[in-house]
Amino acid sequence: MFLKTHKCGSSTVQNILLRFAYSNNLTLALPEELNYLGDPASKFRADLLPPRLVPPGGKVDVFALHARLDVRESLKVLHQDALWITIVRNPVDVFESLYAYYDLREIYRLDVNDFKFMPMSVNDSLLKLPRASDLLGKNQMLFDLGFPDDLPEARLRQAIEGTDRLFDLVMVAERMDESLVLLRHLLCWSLHDVVVFAKNARRKGVRPALDAHTRRTLRELNGADARLYEHFLAKHRRAVIDFGVRRMAREVAALRGLRARYFRECNVVEVKGDEPFFQFREYSGLVSSYVTAETANQTCLLLCLPETPLVDLVRERQLRVGGP
């Protein structure tokens, strides 16, 4: 079970899991079309999975698409021994990324750098901003985890503690390569299995600079997510110490070397904006696409495909294997 949190580097992790599932004939939790399980305003339900895409017994091997978490409903479609994984990121950067990627400026008529001029009182403030499309807004990580975005203190502590107990690994976007090493050991995989090119990540040149005042305001606005993030960042640091700092450094270096090798051997070209062939074009022109000339090589192709074409490929295979 991989809970795909918005704008936390989750598309990068998802690519790893989809590739592994496809290459090993595993079944995934999939909708009839596209790449989102359920309505954004509601949580996941087991009956959202089309019967023809679910194997006999109703259990899938991998859950790796966007869905707002409902633990009980998720357990209905997962094997009993499923491992639970998710990823967190600094909530200031999560919110700014949501704002830019989904063009929320057009919805709120407010530039993200103007947030610092808005009041943060209870009755008339940024805290009252509605969620865009009932999905996107403040404390996005907790919302994706199935919680309200305005939890009182006692419930927030319970939510963080419950999340800690539920998930076997909470990755940290700012420590992606270290997190991938921890992931591969949790799953008993090789370094080759967790090689990945950053997916759906904006290029540095198109990221706006946030001044210190704006960052403080966004942190206050996303205060609950900040608590969640700090908890799991501290836990990640302890995990690296337990793993061994030098050992981790060696594995990270080896992973980065493998990534560079795959980039060369697959003849990959990084393309900025909307220029590449449709097969490799990402959802947004703000992110880089990866184009490979080695499309006959399954590993190279799967490494470079964006989320939607890769999900379509997995769904087609699953339908062929399972039948209507």
Task: Give the dihedral of Cα atoms 147, 170, 75, 190; nearest 10 deg.
Answer: 160
Q: Is the Cα torsion angle 47, 167, 181, 269 positive or negative in sign?
A: positive
Pairing of strands 288-292, 268-272: antiparallel
Model pLDDT, residue 322: 61
Residue 323 pLDDT > 50, yes or no? no
Model pLDDT, residue 276: 60
- pLDDT per position as a tens digit, 82-130: 999 999 999 999 999 999 888 888 888 888 888 888 877 655 577 778 8
CATH architecture of 2-322: 3-Layer(aba) Sandwich (3.40)
Q: Where are the beta strands (DSSP E) in 134-232?
A: 169-172
Model pLDDT, residue 124: 56
Q: What is the mean pLDDT of residues 170-177?
A: 98
256 is written with which tokens?
Answer: 């980065």
170 is written with which tokens?
Answer: 């909470």
SS3 84: coil
Model pLDDT, residue 320: 85
- The residue type of 175 is R
Q: What is the pTM of this model?
A: 0.94
Average pLDDT across the chain, whole number: 92
Q: What is the mean pLDDT of residues 65-87?
A: 97
- pLDDT per position as a tens digit, 240-285: 999 999 999 999 999 999 999 999 999 999 888 766 667 888 877 7
- The rounded distance, in Å, linking the Cα atoms of 268 and 282 is 15
309: exposed, middle or buried (C-beta count within 10 Å: 0-12, 13-18, 19+)? middle
CB neighbours of 134 closer than 8 A, spacing ≥ 6?
39, 40, 41
Model pLDDT, residue 193: 98
Model pLDDT, residue 306: 93
Confidence of residue 324 (pLDDT cuts 50, 70, 90): very low
Answer yes or no: are the C-beta atoms of 18 and 30 closer than 8 Å: no
- DSSP assignment of 279-307 equals GG--S-TTBEEEEES-TTSHHHHHHH--H
With residues binned 3-state (H G I as helix, E B as strand, rest as coil), the percentages for the chain, rounded to 5, are 50, 10, 40
- pLDDT per position as a tens digit, 24-62: 999 999 999 989 998 767 899 999 999 999 999 999 999
Q: What is the mean pLDDT of residues 299-316?
A: 95
SS3 127: helix
Residue 1 pLDDT > 70, yes or no? yes
